[in-house]
Amino acid sequence: MEMGSYNYKMFGFFNRKFKFSETEPPSDVKEAFARYSVTGSHMSADQLLRFLIEFQGEEWCTLSEAEGIIHEVINRRHHLTKLTCHGLTLEDFFHYLFFDDLNAPIESQVHHDMTAPLQHYFIYTGHNSYLTGNQLSSDCSDVPIINALQRGVRVIELDLWPNSAKDDVHVLHGRTLTTPVSLIKCFKSIKEHAFDTSPYPVIITLEDHLTPDLQAKVAEMAIQTFGKMLYYPESGCLEEFPSPEALKHQIIVSTKPPKEYLESKHVREKGNASPGERDSSEEDLAVELEADERNYSDQDDEDSDTSEQKSGPLGAPEYKRLIAIHAGKPKQGLKEALKIGIDKVKRLSLSEQALEKAAASHGTDVVRFTQKNILRVYPKGTRVTSSNFKPIRGWMHGAQMVAFNMQGYGKSLWLMHGMFRCNGGCGYVKKPDFLMKGGPNNEVFDPKVAQIVKKTLKVKVYMGDGWRLDFSPTHFDSYSPPDFYTKVYIVGVPLDTAKKKTRVIGDDWTPVWDEEYTFPLRVPELALLRIEVREHNVSEKDDFGGQTCLPVSELKPGIRAVPLYDKKGVKFRSVRLLMRFQFV
Taking the CA atoms of residue 431, residue 433, residue 439 and residue 440 in that order, the dihedral angle to the nearest 10 degrees is 150
Whole-angstrom distance, CA of residue 151 vs CA of residue 145? 10
- What's the pLDDT score for residue 28? 97
Closest CA relative to residue 347, chosen from 355, 357, 337 = 337
Whole-angstrom distance, CA of residue 535 vs CA of residue 516? 20
Structural Rg of the chain based on CA atoms: 27
Structural contact between residues 147 and 405, judged by C-beta atoms closer than 8 angstroms: no
C-alpha distances in angstroms, 281 versus 352, 357, 538?
A: 16, 21, 46
Highest mean pLDDT range out of 78-82, 140-144, 447-451? Answer: 140-144
Structural contact between residues 36 and 88, judged by C-beta atoms closer than 8 angstroms: no
| Cβ atoms within 10 Å of 540's Cβ, excluding its own | 6
| Cβ atoms within 10 Å of 436's Cβ, excluding its own | 20
- Catalytic center residues: 127, 173
Element holding 253 (H helix, E strand): strand 251-255
- What's the pLDDT score for residue 21? 53
In the predicted structure, residue 261 carries a pLDDT above the cut 80: no
CB contact burial 290-327 (16+ within 10 A = b; e otherwise): eeeeeebbbbbbbbbbbbbbbbeeebbbebbbbbbbbb
- What's the pLDDT score for residue 304? 40
**pLDDT band at residue 305 under the 50/70/90 scheme:** very low
- What's the pLDDT score for residue 332? 72
Whole-angstrom distance, CA of residue 191 vs CA of residue 196? 10
Say if residue 154 is exposed, middle or buried (CB neighbours under 10 Å; 0-12, 13-18, 19+): buried
- What's the pLDDT score for residue 474? 95
Whole-angstrom distance, CA of residue 219 vs CA of residue 89? 63
Helix, strand or coil, per DSSP, at residue 224: helix
Whole-angstrom distance, CA of residue 172 vs CA of residue 160? 7
Average pLDDT over residues 352-379: 95
In the predicted structure, residue 402 carries a pLDDT above the cut 70: yes
In the predicted structure, residue 273 carries a pLDDT above the cut 60: no
Tell me which of 19-33, 40-54, 107-121, 124-138 is least confident.
19-33
- What's the pLDDT score for residue 264? 35
Q: Could you give the domains of the chain?
A: 1-99 (1.10.238), 119-276+292-435 (3.20.20.190), 453-584 (2.60.40.150)
For the segment 29-47, what is each residue's pLDDT rounded down to a tens digit? Answer: 999 999 999 777 899 999 9
Tell me the sheet residues that pair with 531.
488, 548
Mean pLDDT of all residues belonging to the chain: 87
- With vertex at residue 328, the alpha carbon angle to CA 322 and CA 333, rounded to the nearest 5 degrees, is 175
- What's the pLDDT score for residue 524? 98
For the segment 447-476, what is each residue's pLDDT rounded down to a tens digit? Answer: 999 999 999 999 999 999 999 999 999 999
Whole-angstrom distance, CA of residue 301 vs CA of residue 208? 12
Percent with pLDDT over 90 in the chain: 76
